[in-house]
Amino acid sequence: MIKDQEVANIIRKEENKQQFKLSMIPSENFFSADVRKAVGSVFMHKYAEGNVGKRYYEGNQFVDKLELLTIERAKKVFSLPENWSVNVQALAGSNANLAVYLTLLNIGDTIMGMYLPDGGHLSHGWSYEPKVEQNPNELTYMGGSRKVNISSKIFKTVQYKTNPNTQLFNYDEIERIALEHKPKLIITGGTAYPREIDYQRMKQIAEKVGAYYLADIAHEAGLIAAGVNKSPVGIADVVTMTTHKTLRAGRGALILANKEMIKKINRSILPGLQGGPFNHSIAGICVGLGETLNPEFKEYASQTVKNAQFLCSELQKYNFQIVSGGTDKHLILIDLTNKPLLGKKFARALDYAGIIANMNTMPQEKQSPANPSALRLGTPWITTRGMKESEITLIAAWINQVMEICSQWNELEFADFENKVKSSPEIATIANQVQELCMNFPLEI
């Protein structure tokens, strides 16, 4: 244990939280002890500016071996075409996306991504106009004066929405928007779209308007690696991903593209955006990629989707409205507009009951992002623990109980609401039941 007792105490509390609560945020997962050991290895001591065989500092022969092994494993895991390669140095998903933009675009070019409240991502060009309510039936979004991400500050952005009736992509409408605005880059992927994406159709749209196509698979990477979801590799011009969600391979990012484009992307990473890569993170990614090649990983990925789909069906029994009617992935989005509690209060109440989720916007959102209409839930972490359908039945019942218990305080201000939840014996009882379940599925901490 760490000798610094202040830090050690904080770590111990975080360990207990992870061990005895149900982590159901879809962008989180629990890594193996081997991944964690690799991340905590001596590779964190070394500076390695440059790429394999072309470092600015001496003493990087083993960093070279590590990067080469990581690249080869990524090629195998994602079944890359012979003429494709990988950048393993991007520190995070947003960095990876920005490196792609810097490679393919000029400042001021138009990029087209998914509307953030419908499930897109900040790094895909989000901006907004404060205190201006959006028309949910207007399927093109042009942003606003509040440029909250660098992508919207340096590029012109246009965003497509989901269909107001189905909450799914309308590819004909996306094509119409692309034809009107002629983006240089079209992006798919995001944080809360629960359905599979038609990569072939998106590539056709991009080709029709002369755009590059970037598939951001940060959320689905592990499901794609296991063959549970379809892959955009060999279809999109570039594929980016984070490695810590369904891929379960430590913190970092991967960029996949043809070899010539990867050479340019490498230069956008260094010297364009970063100094030296985080070699210890790459070590963790390498170990995690190795683990995806085991049969157990495919079982985990398949069960992750089964658990999410079963959770949808169980929650619907309690009259929870599921955005798009279900899921093809590891995440679900609950429309809470027919319930007494919206996202912010419900997420906080669930946390006190031992279930960690997050408030989220949803298609046709009318609330502020600070108190949105939806709750986002995911199954990667609980599936990693070994939980299956019988446990999902319990979890869905607890979620409903929390809603029923806390509905009586829905009119209170948030601080007063939280105090009521915190002192509720019924919520404490659920938290104890959750802890008992977690103890039957212990994490290897």
With beta carbons less than 8 A apart as the criterion, state whether 197 and 217 touch.
no
314, 284: one domain: no
Question: In whole angstroms, what is the distance from residue 443 CA to residue 445 CA?
Answer: 6
Ordered per-residue pLDDT tens for the chain, 445 residues: 789 999 999 999 999 999 999 999 999 999 999 999 999 999 999 999 999 999 999 999 999 999 999 999 999 999 999 999 999 999 999 999 999 999 999 999 999 999 999 999 999 999 999 888 878 788 999 999 999 999 999 999 999 999 999 999 999 999 999 999 999 999 999 899 999 999 999 999 999 999 999 999 999 999 999 999 999 999 999 999 999 999 999 999 999 999 999 999 999 999 999 999 999 999 999 999 999 999 999 999 999 999 999 999 999 999 999 999 999 999 999 999 999 999 999 999 999 999 999 999 999 998 988 999 999 999 999 999 999 999 999 999 999 999 999 999 999 999 999 999 999 999 999 999 999 999 999 999 8
Q: Pick the closest to residue 289 from 322, 254, 337, 332 (CA basis).
A: 254
The active-site residue, picked from 251, 263, 388, 420, is 251
User: Is residue 32 one of the residues assigned to a domain?
Assistant: no
Q: Is residue 348 part of a domain?
A: yes
Does one domain contain both 277 and 396?
A: no
Q: How many domains does the chain have?
A: 2
Which pLDDT score is estimated for 135?
A: 81
Query: Residue 5: inside a domain, yes or no?
Result: no
Catalytic residue among 75, 184, 203, 245: 245
119, 238: one domain: yes
Residues 220 and 366 in one domain: no
Statement to judge: residues 320 and 222 lie in one domain: no
Catalytic residue status for 383: no
In a domain, 334, yes or no: yes
Q: Which of 28, 47, 171, 318 is catalytic?
A: 47
Measured distance CA(87)–CA(70) in Å, rounded = 9
Let me know if 245 is a catalytic residue: yes
Tell which of 292, 323, 348 closes a domain: 292
Does the annotation mark 237 as catalytic? no
Look at residues 29, 30, 20, 16 and name the one whose alpha carbon lies nearest to residue 354. 20
**Does 10 map to a domain?**
no
User: Do residues 179 and 309 share a domain?
Assistant: no
pTM of the predicted model as reported, rounded to 2 decimal places: 0.96
Q: Which of 216, 328, 335, 391 is catalytic?
A: 216
Residues 288 and 221 in one domain: yes
Residues 314 and 209 both lie in one domain: no
Residue 218 lies in a domain: yes
Backbone angles phi, psi at 98, to 5 degrees: -65, -35
Q: Is residue 404 part of a domain?
A: yes
- Look up the CATH number of the domain holding residue 418: 3.90.1150.10
Q: Is 376 a catalytic residue?
A: no
Instruction: Judge contact between 259 and 83, C-beta under 8 A.
Output: yes
**How many CA within 13 A on the CB side of residue 97?**
28
Residue 8 lies in a domain: no
* Same domain flag for 326 and 185: no
| 8 A C-beta contact, residue 253 and residue 95 | yes
> Does the CA dihedral 94-99-100-104 come out positive or negative?
positive
In the residue annotation, 242 being an active-site residue is answered as yes
Last residue of a domain, one of 292, 320, 344: 292
Q: Is 58 a catalytic residue?
A: no
Instruction: Write the CATH number for 288.
Output: 3.40.640.10
What is the residue range of 239's domain? 39-292
